[in-house]
Every structure is written in structure tokens, then in C-alpha cells.
Amino acid sequence: MEEEKIKIAYYPGCSLNSTSLDFNVSIKRLLEVLGIEYEEIEDWNCCGTTPAHHTNEQLSSALSARNLLLADKMGYDTILSPCVSCYNKLGHAAKIIASEEEGLNDFELEHKRQLVEDLQEMGFKLKENYDFKVYTILNFLLKHRKLIKEKYREVTQKSGSEPPRILERLSVACYYGCALLRPREAEKFDDIENPTSMEQLLGDVGIGCRKFQFKTECCGAILSLTNKDLVLKLSRDILEMALDCGANSLVVFCQLCQQNLDLRQSQINRHYKKDYRVPVLYLTQVLGMALGLSEKEVMLDRLFVKPEI
């Protein structure tokens, strides 16, 4: 008997729609390979990310919650939001919407009531109960690990199939960054100080990873636009540590980390008079290639530091 198809709403977010198109495309191709159906949330808006969250939490909740209710209109309660910042903001909004008024303190109660008012002002008719499940790419793939393993078996059993040469050359360190598990509201689906989800997923497709001490160090995140020197230093430390651990590449799932480490690697080199050439690949690109996608399909050519073959 064929299993029921998995259907989800997809929230790309602003970055994935622009500066991280390669991440976006590699996710979509990977979902297709795994047979997961997705539909982009119609007319989605920015979640507000750090600027909204740091200046007015009501603003942050209202912007994020609109996307959830749009997904609900399309009949979805499961939302994949690959960007870690969007995932945190959407997840937080989902918790507020689902919360029971009895359990809240005055501050939280006021916040929820204001949010409901704002959503009504945006033209939504609110239902009594909502149960949104928001995933980022990592916990989503972990949940569907079986599909990855099955697909990998299928690909490797094909006669004459060889693993892509590029993957054989990679000796990867998995870099998780800071925003996935640490925030107060975040779902703790892995160890906070030494997460291993990425290693598990890559292990499923026959890729071994180096031990890496800087898995959850911060890359400096959005300070890249305002206080660049700090970011260059933090990102340099991460690259240096990866090399010290014997890796020749990094695997990430956050487009902001990826930008700071890949796009700004040339700036790091100029600033510190170094000659780093460490490709920083998205987890979905690596998994995609291991499951039979071509380099072009996962947009490997869009990386600034190319993996050498």
C-alpha cells in the first residue's frame, strides 16, 4: 500500500528569495527527490526578523502570524521555514496563537490580545483553535530520515552508479551556528552545545564528518551590515578552526552564516592577509547531490568559493 503523500506549506522568506536563491532551489529539488509535496504560501510577507524583534515584539508577532494564517487559509498546518530566523519568529507566533489565556501572565495576555486585534485589522477571521507546526530544514529532514535512507538505497543500488566525485573530495565540518537551538522558545531537538543532527543526516548518505569544536559558535550574524569587523573576526575563527580540524569544507543550513563565511571570505582574506579557500555548502546541496541531483540542479555554481574537483 502506498503511503500518503506528505504535503506542506513552504515559507521561503526574503533572503531565500534573493541573495540565497541557491539554498531555496536546492531545498525544492531535494523535497521533490524525496517525494514531498510543497506549496509556497501565497502572498507571504517578511517575518520582520531582527529589526522588528529588537524594536517592537508586537510588530514581530503580527508580521509572522500573518504568514501562518495565510497557510491556514490554504489548508496547511505544517509549515517549512528553512531560514532559521524566520523559523524562530514564525514558531514564536505559532506558540502565542495556540496559547490558552489562563496560563499567561499579564504581559503575555496583553501581547496575545493585541496580536489578535492586529490580525483582525489585517482582515483575518480568527478560528478558535490553531495547531501550527513550524519546521526549519534540519528538524524537518530529521523527521523524514526514513525517506532519505530509502532514496539513498535506491540510488546506490542502481547498476553502475558511483558517488559524485565532488562528494568524495569533501572532508566536511558541520557548522550549526547559534540561532537553531539556543533561543528560549526554540524546540530542543538536539544537544545545545554539541548537536549531531547534521552528522546523522550526512551519515545516512555515506558522508563522514570531521570532529569540529566550533559547531555552535556565532558568526556575527546580521552585524555584517553594521559592524563588519566583528563579523570578519568571528567568521575567520570558524574557518581557521575548520581547517585545524582537518576539514576542507563547511556544511551549513543558515543562509546568513553561509553569507558571512562564503561571500565574505574574500573580505576576510584581504583583512587578515590570509588565503582561505574553504567552500561553504548548504546541507541541502550536499544531500541533494548524494541522492542523485546534479551540481547544476543544486546550484553549486552560485557559491563564491568553489569546491575544487
Partner 1 sequence: MKKQEIDLNKIQEELEGYIEPNMNYCCQCGKCSAGCPVVEAYEYKPHQIISLIQAGQMEKIINSNTIWLCVECDICSTRCPEKISIASIMNHLRVATWQKNTKKDKNIAKFYKLFNFMVRFFGRSYEPGLIMGLNVGTGRFFNDADIAADILKKRKIKILPEFVKGRKEIGKVTKKYQ
Q: Cell numbers at residue 77, please?
A: 498546518
218 part of the interface to partner 1, by CB under 8 A? yes
307 part of the interface to partner 1, by CB under 8 A? no
User: CA 118: distance to chain centroid?
Assistant: 28
User: Could you give the string, one character per residue 220-249, with x where binding to partner 1 holds by CB under 8 A and - elsewhere?
Assistant: xxxx-xxxx-x---x---------------
107 part of the interface to partner 1, by CB under 8 A? yes
Dihedral angle computed from the Cα positions of residues 263, 267, 270 and 273, in that order, rounded to the nearest 10 degrees? -80
123 part of the interface to partner 1, by CB under 8 A? yes
Of 47, 229, 38, 294, nearest in space to 144 by CA: 38
Rounded to the nearest 10 degrees, the angle between the axes of helix 145-157 and helix 197-204 is: 30
Stretch that binds partner 1, among 14-22, 33-41, 204-212, 274-282 (CB under 8 A): 14-22
Of 176, 221, 168, nearest in space to 194 by CA: 176
Q: Cell numbers at residue 139, please?
A: 528538524
Residue count at the site for partner 1 (CB under 8 A)? 60
Nearer to partner 1, 29 or 89 (CB): 89
Q: Cell numbers at residue 290, please?
A: 548524494
Terminal CA-CA length for the chain: 43
62 part of the interface to partner 1, by CB under 8 A? yes
Judge whether 208 and 169 are in contact, CB under 8 Å: no
Q: Least distance in Å: CB of 48 to partner 1?
A: 6
Q: Least distance in Å: CB of 194 to partner 1?
A: 12
Which residues make up the interface to partner 1 (CB under 8 A)? 14-15, 17-22, 43-46, 48-59, 62-63, 66, 105-107, 118, 121-123, 178-179, 182-184, 192-193, 217-218, 220-223, 225-228, 230, 234, 263-264, 266-267, 270, 302, 304
